Structure 1
Amino acid sequence: MKSIVEERAVELGEYIVNQRATVRATAKRFGVSKSTVHKDVSERLKKISPTLYKQVNDVLQLNKAERHIRGGQATKIKYLAHHQK
């Protein structure tokens, strides 16, 4: 029988893969901390489901590679909105 923590790790991992979600978005959706999400999908999931862990890791690596672009877009939108006032 799986524990609640193991079930949560699998559920978080499946959400990240299916939605291509970030750790922050996943934490917000499930009402847990970013640290909890990260620990569940990077440590616990590796032992529970190596296949799902690999898929989650691929999504997280992609998010990490793209985050500077998202940050730049957010800053651009912020300043455009500020200058339009």
Structure 2
Amino acid sequence: MKIQPGQRAVLLGQYIIENKATVRNAAKAFGVSKSTVHKDVSERLRKEDPALFTQVRGILELNKQERHIRGGMATKQKYRELAQCRQSSGNSCGRR
């Protein structure tokens, strides 16, 4: 059974609020693309439930502000693991 786009937008909005989820996390949970999630919560949700839209927009703005920090932390972790691997096994870590 396929969910109507308006209903899906509301469900996505509720999921994002309850889990403080990113667009990517919501897309994975619902089995749809990131662009579908973005369209649902930025266009369809505004028409379906304006109050919910306002809450979701706040969370997405916060995610957008924190995005560069999360990216930096991921890079830092990557190179930390690479350095540990090289110390323990030689110079062949991270290469395919």
TM superposition score category, shorter chain reference: over 0.9
Tell me the CA shift for residue 50 of structure 1.
0.2
1:42-61 aligned within 5 A: 42-61=42-61
Corresponding residue for 2:15? 15
Q: Which amino acid aligns with 1:5?
A: P
Structure (1 or 2) with the larger CA radius of gyration = 2
Whole-Å separation in 1 of the counterparts to 2:77 and 2:28: 22
Corresponding residue for 1:24? 24
Segments of 5+ residues of structure 1 without an aligned counterpart are none
**Percentage of matched positions with identical amino acids:** 61
SS, match of residue 79 in structure 1:
helix
Structure 1 stretches of 4+ with a deviation exceeding 4 A read none
Aligned residues: CA RMSD: 0.9
Segments of 5+ residues of structure 2 without an aligned counterpart are 86-96
Whole-Å separation in 2 of the counterparts to 1:41 and 1:64: 15
Q: Which amino acid aligns with 2:64?
A: K
Corresponding residue for 2:77? 77
Task: Give me the TM-score of the superposition, normalised by structure 2.
Answer: 0.84
Highest relative contact order (Cα 8 Å, sep 6+), 1 or 2?
1
Q: Say if 2:66 is the partner of 1:66.
A: yes
Whole-Å separation in 2 of the counterparts to 1:37 and 1:8: 9
Whole-Å separation in 1 of the counterparts to 2:81 and 2:29: 27
Greater fraction of residues in helix: 1
Aligned length in residues: 83
Tell me the CA shift for residue 4 of structure 1.
1.1
Q: Which amino acid aligns with 1:12?
A: L
